[in-house]
Amino acid sequence: MHRSSVQALAELPREERNLAYLHLLHPDIGPRYPDRDFIAREIVGHLRIAAGRLPEDPDQTLLVYTAAPGSPEEKAVQAMARG
């Protein structure tokens, strides 16, 4: 991560400093990656593991409810829900 990226991350509100959230939902971060679909699947896999360990975690619910309808993020979340 470049110094400017770290600075940009530090400038975000604390509740938005979640790399999964930023990669999947931030309009400027996820699209920078040519292998975004692969990274999204990896993130979803880790979220599925976390959901199994911490099913009452409200931060996971936030991700589900903020995915834009019809977006790749929504499809990834739906795939996660199907198991």
What pLDDT is attached to residue 59? Answer: 67
Report the distance separating Cα 17 and Cα 60, nearest Å.
14
Q: Could you tell me if residue 73 is left (phi over 0), alpha (psi between -120 and 50 degrees) or otherwise beta?
A: alpha
Contact indicator for 44, 77 with CB cutoff of 8 Å: yes
Question: Which residue is it, tokens 């400093």?
Answer: 17
What element of type H or E holds 48? helix 36-53
Domain residue ranges of the chain, discontinuous segments joined by +: 18-82
Amino acid at 7: Q
pLDDT of the chain, 83 residues: tens digit per residue: 445 667 777 888 887 778 887 887 777 777 888 888 888 888 888 877 877 888 787 766 655 556 677 887 777 777 766 65
Would you give the DSSP letter of residue 26? -
